[in-house]
Amino acid sequence: MADTYDVVIIGGGPGGYNCAIRAGQLGLKTACIEMNDTLGGTCLNVGCIPSKALLHASEYYAAAKNDFAAMGIKTGKVEVDLAQMMAQKADAVDGLTKGVAFLLKKNKVDHVHGKGRITGPGQVEVTAPDGSKQTLSAKNIVIATGSEPSTLPGIEIDEERVVSNTGALSLKAIPKKLVLIGAGVIGLEMGCVWSRLGSEVTVIEYLDRILPGTDNEIAKEAQRTFKKQGLTFKLGTKVTSVEKLKTKLKLTMEPAAGGDAETIDADIVIVAVGRRPYTEGLGLENVGGKTDRRGVIETTDHFKVAPGVWAIGDCIAGPMLAHKAEDDGAAVAELIAGKAGHVDYDLVPGVVYTNPEIATIGKTEEQLKEAGIKYKKGKFPFMANSRARTNHETAGFVKILAEEGTDRILGAHMIGVGVGEMIHEIAIAMEFGASSEDVARTCHAHPTLSEAVRQAAMGVEGWTMQM
Ligand code: NAI
């Protein structure tokens, strides 16, 4: 019988592998079970990383086609080589998944290939791809099984013509007509990729706005910008069926509030209506674990499911984001090692990697109003930022919200080129409980896009200087 592990982690995505690395660093005897051939979970294999590879490449293509001439750069005919674009994407994924395997090894974590199932307290049965079984004994079990795409009733995802994020990242040809169901993060990122590459893109959204949960002003600006880039939005509309005809797909939709149905044709449909926790065959019931109505694993204080059983990442409450899962993972490893481990879900930044990017942290204006919290607002447009103007990238703005009276920063919302990097300035400020004045009085290099963040912070107290 094998030695008992201090920690057995089920799932090798960003939550699981970061938990494993941190546990290894802390000297805990650790195993990480992953059922896929490669580590990295959704993020590395069919999520964050491959989507960013396509976003980056398609952004270069769009720039070469649309913007180079104005900057005095002459090119020949700019064309897409989709096979090569997919190959460089696969290369990025391959390198990074191997990197995770290396990091587990370096931190003395056993990587166990197979599907894990909790059979009782401290017991995890692993079924290998060849069907063979082994049982691992563990003082602590960490569930990091992540999430899977949600589906809609009557719409079958085949990953060929009706696809989830997985199929959307590996289309074999550029669709002429692409329809996205859901104007959330995946809908916008994938819509932008394929629109840049030449698809006619329609985004159908149930609600009367895009990016639910995002600050309204940002969502409105984003919709305006993406519309200008060629995306068509049909808001307040629900898709009731997708008929698979021989040469095309026929979608039937109707107003969410009720009304006459209409149809739209598509070559490819991407279903991006959210994700749900993945807990199939996990054996949660064998340790008394429970899920709520939406399948989210219930945890008591600090990730605890049952004595010696913990859960992290997309399968528990909180934002379904890779970096939140990473932080959960490190926190649980530290708790198991007897240290303090805590993640503040109010300070998890969210980034949509479109062009311009969208980045948010903390409370939106709507949330503050709803909570009756009095706030001041500073706003600065990139149109007035010297670097953005020089780069001919003037779309968007930065908005900072601070509590009236204390001036403590409560939220920041940005849309613009590069804001996915700039948001972290505010993340650190908020971690330290900074005021808007702290950011406003911090010297920022000139000329940088980040000066827009400083100017927005100055705006909270009404002393924006460059506008
Ligand atoms: P989402 O929750 O961001 O958006 C889903 C959208 O679908 C919502 O706008 C919702 O109102 C709409 N919707 C739901 N039912 C519908 C229906 N029947 N008809 C039309 N619209 C409907 O989910 P999404 O985009 O699928 O992404 C899944 C998860 O992956 C999210 O949690 C997201 O945060 C994460 N993700 C994060 C990324 C990032 O951080 N850059 C990139 C991609 C995904």
Distance CA 290, CA 268 (A): 37
Please indicate whether residue 321, judged by its CB atom, sits closer than 6 Å to ligand 1: yes
| Rounded distance from Cα 7 to ligand 1 centre (Å) | 33
If you search the block for the tokens 């290894």, which residue do you land on? 24
Q: Prior bond to 175 cis, omega within 30?
A: no
Is the shortest distance between the CB of 152 and ligand 1 below 6 Å?
A: yes
Ligand 1 contact, 272 CB (< 6 A): yes
Domains of the chain: 5-149+276-345 (3.50.50.60), 162-273 (3.50.50.60), 356-460 (3.30.390.30)
Q: Say whether 39 sits in a helix, a strand or coil.
A: coil
Going residue by residue through the chain, which has 467 residues, state the pLDDT in tens, using 9 for 90 and above.
467 999 999 999 999 999 999 999 999 999 999 999 999 999 999 999 999 999 999 999 999 999 999 999 999 999 999 999 999 999 999 999 999 999 999 999 999 999 999 999 999 999 999 999 999 999 999 999 999 999 999 899 999 999 999 999 999 999 999 999 999 999 999 999 999 999 999 999 999 999 999 999 999 999 999 999 999 999 999 999 999 999 999 999 999 999 999 999 999 999 999 999 999 999 999 999 999 999 999 998 789 999 999 999 999 999 999 999 999 999 999 999 999 999 999 999 999 999 999 999 999 999 999 999 999 999 999 999 999 999 999 999 999 999 999 999 999 999 999 999 999 999 999 999 999 999 999 999 999 999 999 999 999 999 999 88
CA 39 to ligand 1 center in whole angstroms: 24
Q: Is the CB of 207 under 6 A from ligand 1?
A: yes
Is the minimum distance from the CB of 163 to ligand 1 under 6 angstroms?
A: no
Taking only the tens place, the pLDDT of each residue in 61-74 is 999 999 999 999 99
Distance of CA 325 from the midpoint of ligand 1 (Å):
17
Q: If you ran DSSP here, which 8-state letter would residue 37 be given?
A: S
56 is catalytic: no
CA 183 to chain centre: 14
* Residue 186 Cβ < 6 Å to ligand 1: yes
d(CA 150, CA 312): 19
Give the C-alpha separation, 46 to 9, whole Å. Answer: 21
Q: Tell me the C-alpha distance between 97 and 92, whole Å.
A: 9
- The token pair that represents 417 in the structure block: 């080129």
DSSP codes joined into one string, 356-397: SEEEEEE--HHHHHHHT--EEEEEEEGGG-HHHHHTT----E
Nearest CA to ligand 1 atom 15: 273
pTM to 2 decimal places? 0.96
Distance of alpha carbon 390 from alpha carbon 53, whole angstroms:
26
CA distance 193 to 354: 8
List, for residues 105-156, the tens digit of each pLDDT value. 999 999 999 999 999 999 999 999 999 999 999 999 999 999 999 999 989 9
Choice among 342, 392, 424, 446 that is catalytic = 446
| CA of 205 relative to ligand 1 center, distance in Å | 10
Nearest CA to 15 among 51, 54, 52, 44? 44
For ligand 1, atom 14, the nearest C-alpha belongs to 273
List the one residue out of 136, 130, 94, 131 whose CA is nearest residue 117. 136
> What is the Å distance from ligand 1's center to 18 Cα?
25
